[in-house]
């Protein structure tokens, strides 16, 4: 009997999370498109982008103990990389293969900086979405972790990074569109962006990417690396004494989180039709954290579901109580962190663990 | 000559402002490991207190003098309230205090918007601060000198509190070893509250100086909080001299970069410089080897 | 054992996901555009109009005033019988000072609420974000704020000034004052950069020398270093394109370094009746270029101010964007009544020459570029933070968003 129970528990531990991912996949890919209006589905697509970034934050913060308060930067790298391509696609559709984005003609002298050029290629753009944040995160992470900067110092530095990044974007009008950001896209890899069928397709791509990210972190969490990461979070010195370099472990988590944020950003551009500094600055980065904190930072599905919930809450509350939205967001932080530090997802499992019959615990 | 004096003097004034803002942060961060993201909103509270004081004390020459202690008390009381209501339940969870206070900061900003309106309110410069002296072509405003004096005054008062009074001894004892301090009979709870009150109150004083630059507005705190944190990080924990040097360094360097490039680039470059600096000194300029510090 | 089986399962999940994703795809390439069906229903006795302004975030400061005057205009129109006999049913939305939210909400208004037209937006970023959505859904948007021009959409009516109705008159005024040297100070974003590009080219034409150009990030209050450069450059006039609360820091720094309206006056394009009080006496005597001031003497303006203050409080000032928003709703009413239809195509066909006796004076729609002819005014701020009109373009200036009628304008020059 005891054996059977243990087997059952092991089975649950192994397959439970996967089952959760399957449920999320079905909900996002089958149920949502069937029941939601095109407009609401597009909204959901936006939350899915935040959720993709949230999964990465869960990895870095929940499992790795690194409070990444500047994920907007990586979200922005992906978002702007994709937006540059979409902008060029829109320009080339009307102006031929050498056309430059409209804002460079309006606000600049009509010449395009050389580093825009490769983004004419869709393949390069997809490559850049994955590689740019990885490079940026590696350099930054290397500088920070090797010098053992951690805890609050790390959090503050990442937030300052988000502020600096947004300031830089706003100030480079001729290169990045400045405060207005990049917008007025017309097509997405050849598909008309304003055709409802295509919007549904783009939504589906985002949803699939979210599921893929969930599967990736699920694998990571089960691996040796996942165990080392948690060990580093809980006792960095001991991990060092065991012969591992905590800096490398953290670096991997930080880079994976950055790439996920970038993927989220890259899908955000075609879904919302705009990427601007206000989507990547310190406030936006804190907003990304909010969902992860709500859902449960160290759970597998917590960050994603939390991000979806906060995204939905933002739309719903700002439609119903436009003036009180900020209060809700502020209270969410206070109440969740104060009373449910491991998120609502954990609150539920803690409660159910307490309610479960005693013998399974023994 | 003015290409040199202008950034130097203006940067010193900015540094003084950062110092007042960062002193409180360094205190609470160094002693309790608490990261108070709502510290900027205490600055804002100080600015609004100045505005309100001017509504009551209509003589502007006098009202700034009245506003200084008033702002200290208002911001200090807000800090105390924050400590009692929230922070005291979350020592040992420093990163979580950071997030909770982000929430508090959002609440306070929205509250200010609802109470005082989204449009800023004017703060009148007193007659005795109206004017400037010519230093090699830079019309150095009296207001900037006042800010520097205020920072020096705040620093001196804080230094006296820490070095000369019994509270100061208890604060230093708590910073160096909380458990041992408790064992020898220091009530660390009371010490924490005093520290939080004083640290937040200093932000209020900084708010008075800020209100003379920009009047009041609900987003005023966000402008200074990140720079103030960078100062604390670069300065190191537990020692005030690190904060002092870092504050003036950040202020002056930013002013020179602004002069050479522009404000946007200056912000970006200052951040880059702090990251590079941390490569050389990861713990900041000065640090006390203690148990229990981050 | 679990390991290998788990890896299998992962493969299955991924394959399933891919299949689910693909089945949902089936996109259609560009070109086979499926026409957007309008869902606007005006068969009842009401017509839905969307008011989309930021009532939260940094821009709420300005946009709430636009919202207030839109609501008031709707109430007035309803009280006098509505549009084509149909009462306006406003749908209020918050843009939250975030362009992406503006894009989301305008889509909700057009496709979810099926409004006949939407009114709002403030920042250029918000307008640029809404533009493609409005065009794709063939909706209507009325945008009430002066902006940097260089835009015209058949689905947007611009009821604020474009550059040749605000920036260029301001330069004409400076020339009439005998200005020889000019310093440019602005926030570091699109409007000031574009405005200054125009100013620099026109200044060259007028023989005015630009002696400095400084920018500070939006909402940054510290102008000390930049003002010191103005002190050193000793210009005849300063052209101020700073936006928002940053103006307070600029004016205070200006004053404390000994510059005054007598020695070195400033002409601003973003300081109006709403913003001036926050700067108190420091801003007295400075100039601003707009198309409407609360002090404009006209019966229509008296009625407007009276109604506004009765509705929202006697201490509330009226300003240019508020007036432009108020006029936009009345212009919409006039458009619909001339077209005798709520249909976008028919409205656009009837648009040219539609006019309204607005508080600023009579305004007329240009059917080609959807901007409106407005009179350029220069006001000087008095001790009550009101503006005394000191210069006027005398008659309404035809809108020219792309500055095609100005030979000196070269968009590709720096």
Distance in angstroms (rounded) separating the CA atoms of residues A40 and A32: 9
CATH number, domain containing residue B215: 1.10.3470
pLDDT of amino acid A106: 78
Q: What is the token pair recorded at B17?
A: 């402002």
Instruction: Find tokens 């080897």 and name the residue.
Output: B289
pLDDT over 70 at C182, yes or no: yes
Provide the shortest C-alpha distance from residue A196 to chain C (in Å): 8
Distance in angstroms (rounded) separating the CA atoms of residues B18 and B108: 21
Check residue B162 and report its DSSP letter. Answer: H
**Interface ipTM:** 0.87
Cβ distance of C216 and B139 shorter than 8 Å: no
pLDDT over 80 at B188, yes or no: yes
pLDDT tens digits, C278-325: 888 889 999 999 999 999 999 999 999 999 999 999 989 999 999 999
Mean pLDDT over C117-128 rounds to: 92
pLDDT interval class at C22 (50, 70, 90)? low
pLDDT of amino acid C307: 95
pLDDT over 60 at A26, yes or no: yes
Cβ distance of B139 and C228 shorter than 8 Å: yes
Mean pLDDT over C324-335 rounds to: 96
Residues of A with CB under 8 A from a CB of B: 65, 67, 140, 143-144, 147-153, 155-157, 159-161, 163-164, 167-168, 170-171, 282, 286, 289, 293, 323, 326-327, 329-334, 337-338, 341
Distance in angstroms (rounded) separating the CA atoms of residues B13 and B210: 11
**Cα separations in angstroms, C356 against A176, C36, C70, C350:** 39, 31, 16, 14
Which of the residues A122, A172, A208 would you substitute to probe the C interface, choosing the one with the greatest number of C C-beta atoms within 10 Å? A208
Question: Please, are residues A102 and A195 in contact by the beta-carbon 8 Å criterion?
Answer: no
Instruction: Report how many domains make up chain B.
Output: 1
Beta carbons within 10 angstroms of residue B237's beta carbon: 24
Which of the residues B25, B26, B102 would you substitute to probe the A interface, choosing the one with the greatest number of A C-beta atoms within 10 Å? B102
- Tell me the three state secondary structure of residue B208: helix
pLDDT of amino acid B282: 78
**Chain A CB contacts of C131 below 8 Å:** 183-184
Distance in angstroms (rounded) separating the CA atoms of residues C78 and B29: 58
Distance in angstroms (rounded) separating the CA atoms of residues C5 and B134: 80
Provide the shortest C-alpha distance from residue C29 to chain A (in Å): 5
Q: Where is average pLDDT lowest: A251-260, B10-19, C38-47?
A: C38-47
Cβ distance of B132 and C214 shorter than 8 Å: no
**Chain A CB contacts of C93 below 8 Å:** 319, 322
pLDDT over 60 at C360, yes or no: yes
Q: Where is average pLDDT lowest: A241-250, A337-346, B96-105?
A: A337-346
pLDDT of amino acid B18: 94
The answer to whether residue A57 is domain-embedded is: yes
Q: Where is average pLDDT lowest: A83-92, A300-309, C60-69?
A: C60-69
Question: Please, are residues B198 and B27 in contact by the beta-carbon 8 Å criterion?
Answer: yes
Distance in angstroms (rounded) separating the CA atoms of residues C219 and C242: 9
B positions 229-268 inside 8 Å of C (CB): 255, 258-259, 262-264, 267
Name the residue with higher pLDDT: B220 or C170: C170
The answer to whether residue A271 is domain-embedded is: yes
Cβ distance of B212 and C60 shorter than 8 Å: no
Counting as contact any 3 or more CB pairs under 8 A, the partners of B are A, C
pLDDT over 50 at C32, yes or no: no
Cβ distance of B226 and A333 shorter than 8 Å: no
**Cα separations in angstroms, B79 against A78, B46, B73, C47, C84:** 39, 12, 10, 51, 58
pTM: 0.89
Distance in angstroms (rounded) separating the CA atoms of residues A340 and A322: 27
- Tell me the three state secondary structure of residue C141: strand
CB pairs under 8 A between A and B: 111
- Tell me the three state secondary structure of residue A62: helix
Check residue A60 and report its DSSP letter. Answer: I
Residues of C with CB under 8 A from a CB of B: 56, 58, 60-61, 64, 188, 214-217, 219-222, 224-226, 228, 231-232, 245, 248-249, 252-253, 255-258, 274-275, 277-281
| Nearest chain C residue to B136, by CA | C232
pLDDT over 80 at C275, yes or no: yes
| Nearest chain A residue to B37, by CA | A156
- Tell me the three state secondary structure of residue A238: helix
pLDDT over 90 at C190, yes or no: no
**Chain A CB contacts of B285 below 8 Å:** none
Report the mean per-residue pLDDT for chain B: 88
Instruction: Find tokens 């609440």 and name the residue.
Output: B107
The answer to whether residue B287 is domain-embedded is: no
pLDDT of amino acid C2: 47
Inform me whether the C-beta atom of residue B183 falls under 8 Å from chain A C-beta atoms.
no
Beta sheet of C117-120, edge-to-edge order: C87-94, C46-53, C117-120, C141-143, C156-158
**Chain B CB contacts of C220 below 8 Å:** 223, 263
Judging by DSSP bridges, how do beta strands A182-183 and A274-275 pair with one another?
Answer: antiparallel
Provide the shortest C-alpha distance from residue A320 to chain C (in Å): 9
- Helix or strand holding residue A275 (H, E): strand A274-275
Q: Which residues are C290's β-sheet partners?
A: C377
Cβ distance of C232 and B137 shorter than 8 Å: yes
Instruction: Report how many domains make up chain A.
Output: 1
The answer to whether residue B192 is domain-embedded is: yes
Q: Mention every residue, 6+ apart, whose C-beta is less than 8 A from residue C122.
A: C53, C54, C59, C62, C63, C66, C145, C321
Q: What are phi and psi of C49, to 5 degrees?
A: -125, 140
pLDDT interval class at C35 (50, 70, 90)? very low
Cβ distance of C215 and B138 shorter than 8 Å: no
**Chain A CB contacts of B279 below 8 Å:** 143, 147
pLDDT of amino acid B292: 44
Q: Over A94-117, what HEC string results?
A: HHCCCCCCHHHHHHCCCCCCHHHH
Q: What is the token pair recorded at B243?
A: 């904060």
Check residue C318 and report its DSSP letter. Answer: -
pLDDT of amino acid C16: 60
B positions 138-197 inside 8 Å of C (CB): 138-139, 141-144
Domain of residue A23 covers 2-85+121-361
pLDDT interval class at B287 (50, 70, 90)? low
Using only C-alpha atoms, chain C has a radius of gyration, in whole angstroms, of: 24
Which of the residues C33, C60, C61, C100 would you substitute to probe the A interface, choosing the one with the greatest number of A C-beta atoms within 10 Å? C100
pLDDT interval class at A54 (50, 70, 90)? very high
**Cα separations in angstroms, B131 against B47, B142, B145, B207, C252:** 21, 6, 11, 21, 11
Using only C-alpha atoms, chain A has a radius of gyration, in whole angstroms, of: 21
Q: Please, what is the Cα angle at A33 between A29 and A39, to 5 degrees?
A: 130
**Chain C CB contacts of B113 below 8 Å:** 60
Using only C-alpha atoms, chain B has a radius of gyration, in whole angstroms, of: 19
Distance in angstroms (rounded) separating the CA atoms of residues C315 and C93: 26
| Nearest chain A residue to C10, by CA | A215
pLDDT over 70 at A351, yes or no: no
Q: What is the token pair recorded at C336?
A: 């619909």
**Chain C CB contacts of A300 below 8 Å:** none
Q: Mention every residue, 6+ apart, whose C-beta is less than 8 A from residue B267.
A: A163, A164, A167, B254, C217
Report the mean per-residue pLDDT for chain A: 89
Q: Which of C14, C29, C129 shows the shortest C-beta gap to A274?
A: C129
CB pairs under 8 A between A and C: 201
Mean pLDDT over C213-220 rounds to: 86
Beta carbons within 10 angstroms of residue B119's beta carbon: 21
| Nearest chain C residue to A33, by CA | C24
pLDDT over 80 at C14, yes or no: no
- Tell me the three state secondary structure of residue A262: helix
pLDDT tens digits, A176-227: 988 889 988 988 999 988 888 999 999 999 999 999 999 999 999 999 999 9
Mean pLDDT over B173-187 rounds to: 85
Cβ distance of C221 and B143 shorter than 8 Å: no
pLDDT tens digits, B115-164: 987 777 888 889 898 888 988 888 899 999 999 999 999 999 999 998 89
**Chain C CB contacts of A326 below 8 Å:** 56
pLDDT of amino acid C207: 94
Q: Which of A26, A179, A183 shows the shortest C-beta gap to C218?
A: A179
CB pairs under 8 A between B and C: 107
Instruction: Find tokens 């035809």 and name the residue.
Output: C398
| Nearest chain A residue to C56, by CA | A323
B positions 193-232 inside 8 Å of A (CB): 226, 229-230, 232
Provide the shortest C-alpha distance from residue B265 to chain A (in Å): 7
A215 closest CA partner among A55, A346, A10: A55
Mean pLDDT over A61-73 rounds to: 93
Question: Please, are residues C124 and A56 in contact by the beta-carbon 8 Å criterion?
Answer: no
Q: What share of chain B is helix, strand, coil (3-state, %, to 5)?
A: 75, 5, 20
Which of the residues B93, B95, B118 would you substitute to probe the A interface, choosing the one with the greatest number of A C-beta atoms within 10 Å? B95
pLDDT interval class at B93 (50, 70, 90)? confident
Counting as contact any 3 or more CB pairs under 8 A, the partners of C are A, B
**Chain A CB contacts of B94 below 8 Å:** 151-152
Question: Please, are residues A39 and C30 in contact by the beta-carbon 8 Å criterion?
Answer: no
Distance in angstroms (rounded) separating the CA atoms of residues A25 and A304: 12
A253 closest CA partner among A121, A21, A74, A63: A63
Question: Please, are residues C363 and C373 in contact by the beta-carbon 8 Å criterion?
Answer: yes
Domain of residue B250 covers 2-280
Cβ distance of C252 and B213 shorter than 8 Å: yes
The answer to whether residue B182 is domain-embedded is: yes
The answer to whether residue A260 is domain-embedded is: yes
Domains identified in chain C and CATH numbers: 46-161+298-374 (3.40.50.2300), 164-295+378-392 (3.40.50.2300)
């Amino acid at each position: 009997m005891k054996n059977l129970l243990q087997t059952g528990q092991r089975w649950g531990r192994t397959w439970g999370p996967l089952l959760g991912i399957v449920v999320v996949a079905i909900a996002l890919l089958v149920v949502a498109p069937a029941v939601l209006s095109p407009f609401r589905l597009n909204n959901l697509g936006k939350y899915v982008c935040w959720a993709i970034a949230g999964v990465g934050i869960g990895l870095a913060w929940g499992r790795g103990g690194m409070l990444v308060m500047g994920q907007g930067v990586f979200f922005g790298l992906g978002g702007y990389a994709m937006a540059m391509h979409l902008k060029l696609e829109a320009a080339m559709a009307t102006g031929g293969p050498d056309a430059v984005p409209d804002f460079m003609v309006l606000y600049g002298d009509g010449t395009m900086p050389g580093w825009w050029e490769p983004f004419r290629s869709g393949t390069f753009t997809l490559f850049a979405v994955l590689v740019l944040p990885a490079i940026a995160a590696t350099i930054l992470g290397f500088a920070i972790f090797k010098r053992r900067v951690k805890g609050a110092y790390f959090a503050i530095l990442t937030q300052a990074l988000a502020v600096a990044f947004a300031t830089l974007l706003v100030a480079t009008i001729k290169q990045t569109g400045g405060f207005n950001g990049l917008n007025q896209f017309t097509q997405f890899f050849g598909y008309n962006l304003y055709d409802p069928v295509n919007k549904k397709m783009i939504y589906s791509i985002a949803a699939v990417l979210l599921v893929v990210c969930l599967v990736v972190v699920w694998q990571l969490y089960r691996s040796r690396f996942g165990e080392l990461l948690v060990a580093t979070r809980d006792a960095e010195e001991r991990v060092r004494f065991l012969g591992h370099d905590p800096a490398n472990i953290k670096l991997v988590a930080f880079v994976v989180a950055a790439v996920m944020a970038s993927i989220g950003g890259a899908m955000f551009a075609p879904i919302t039709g705009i990427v601007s500094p206000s989507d990547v600055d310190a406030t936006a980065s804190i907003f990304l954290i909010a969902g992860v904190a709500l859902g449960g930072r160290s759970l597998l599905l917590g960050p994603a579901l939390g991000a979806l919930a906060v995204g939905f809450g933002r739309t719903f509350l700002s439609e119903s109580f436009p003036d009180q939205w900020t209060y809700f967001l502020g209270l969410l932080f206070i109440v969740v962190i104060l009373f449910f530090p491991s998120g609502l997802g954990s609150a539920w499992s803690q409660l159910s663990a307490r309610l479960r019959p005693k013998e399974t615990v023994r | 000559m003015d290409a040199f004096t202008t950034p130097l003097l203006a940067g010193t004034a900015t540094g003084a402002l950062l110092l007042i803002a960062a002193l409180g942060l360094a205190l609470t961060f160094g002693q309790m490991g608490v990261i108070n993201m709502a510290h900027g909103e205490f600055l804002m509270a100080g600015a609004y207190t100045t505005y309100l004081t001017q509504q009551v004390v209509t003589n502007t020459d006098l009202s700034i003098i009245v506003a200084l202690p008033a702002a200290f008390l208002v911001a200090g009381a807000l800090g105390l309230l924050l400590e009692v209501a929230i922070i005291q339940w979350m020592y040992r969870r420093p990163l979580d205090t950071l997030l909770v206070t982000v929430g508090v900061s959002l609440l306070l900003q929205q509250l200010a918007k609802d109470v005082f309106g989204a449009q800023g309110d004017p703060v009148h410069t007193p007659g005795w601060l109206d004017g400037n002296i010519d230093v090699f072509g830079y019309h150095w405003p009296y207001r900037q000198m006042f800010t520097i004096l205020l920072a020096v005054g705040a620093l001196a008062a804080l230094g006296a509190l820490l070095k000369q009074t019994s509270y100061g001894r208890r604060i230093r004892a708590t910073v160096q070893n909380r458990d041992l301090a408790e064992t020898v009979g220091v009530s660390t709870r009371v010490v924490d509250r005093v520290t939080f009150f004083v640290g937040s109150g200093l932000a209020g004083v900084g708010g008075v100086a800020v209100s003379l630059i920009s009047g009041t507005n609900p987003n005023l705190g966000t402008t200074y909080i990140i720079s103030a944190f960078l100062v604390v990080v670069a300065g190191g924990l537990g020692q005030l001299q690190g904060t002092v040097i870092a504050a003036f360094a950040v202020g002056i360097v930013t002013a020179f970069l602004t002069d050479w490039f522009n404000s946007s680039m200056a912000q970006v470059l200052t951040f880059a410089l702090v990251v590079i600096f941390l490569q050389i000194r990861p713990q900041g300029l000065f640090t006390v080897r203690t148990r229990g510090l981050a | 054992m679990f390991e290998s089986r788990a890896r299998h399962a992962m493969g299955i999940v991924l394959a399933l996901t891919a299949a689910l994703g693909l089945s949902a795809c089936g996109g259609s390439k560009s070109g086979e555009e499926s026409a957007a069906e309008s869902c606007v229903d005006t068969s009842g006795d009401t017509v839905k109009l969307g008011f989309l302004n930021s009532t939260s975030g940094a821009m709420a400061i300005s946009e709430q005033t636009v919202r207030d005057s839109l609501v008031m205009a709707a109430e007035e129109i309803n009280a006098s019988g509505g549009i084509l006999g149909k009462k306006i049913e406003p749908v209020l939305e918050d843009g939250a000072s975030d362009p992406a939210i503006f894009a989301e909400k305008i889509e909700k208004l057009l496709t979810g609420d099926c409004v006949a037209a939407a009114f709002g937006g403030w920042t250029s970023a918000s307008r640029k974000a809404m533009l493609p959505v409005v065009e794709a859904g063939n909706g209507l948007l009325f945008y009430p704020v002066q902006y940097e021009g260089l835009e015209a959409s058949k689905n947007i009516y611009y009821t604020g000034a474009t550059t040749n109705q605000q920036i260029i008159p301001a330069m004409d005024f400076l020339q009439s004052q005998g200005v020889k040297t000019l310093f440019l100070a602005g926030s570091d974003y699109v409007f000031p950069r574009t405005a200054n590009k125009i100013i620099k080219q026109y200044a060259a034409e007028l023989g005015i020398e630009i002696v400095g150009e400084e920018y500070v990030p939006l909402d940054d209050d510290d102008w000390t270093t930049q003002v010191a450069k103005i002190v050193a450059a000793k210009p005849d006039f300063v052209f101020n394109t700073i936006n928002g609360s940053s103006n307070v820091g600029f004016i205070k720094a200006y004053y404390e370094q000994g510059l005054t309206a007598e020695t070195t006056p400033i002409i601003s394009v973003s300081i109006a009746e709403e913003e001036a009080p926050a700067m108190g006496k420091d801003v007295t005597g400075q100039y601003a270029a707009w198309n409407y001031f609360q002090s404009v003497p006209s019966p229509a303006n008296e009625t407007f101010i009276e109604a506004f203050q009765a509705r929202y409080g006697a201490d509330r000032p009226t300003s240019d964007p508020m007036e432009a928003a108020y006029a936009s709703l009345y212009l919409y009413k006039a458009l619909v009544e001339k077209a005798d239809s709520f249909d976008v195509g028919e409205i656009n066909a009837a648009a040219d020459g539609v006019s309204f006796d607005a508080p600023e004076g009579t305004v007329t729609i240009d059917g080609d570029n959807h901007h409106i002819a407005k009179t350029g005014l220069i006001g000087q701020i008095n001790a009550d933070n009101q503006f005394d009109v000191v210069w006027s373009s005398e008659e309404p200036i035809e809108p020219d968003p792309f500055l095609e009628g100005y030979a000196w304008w070269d968009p590709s020059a720096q």
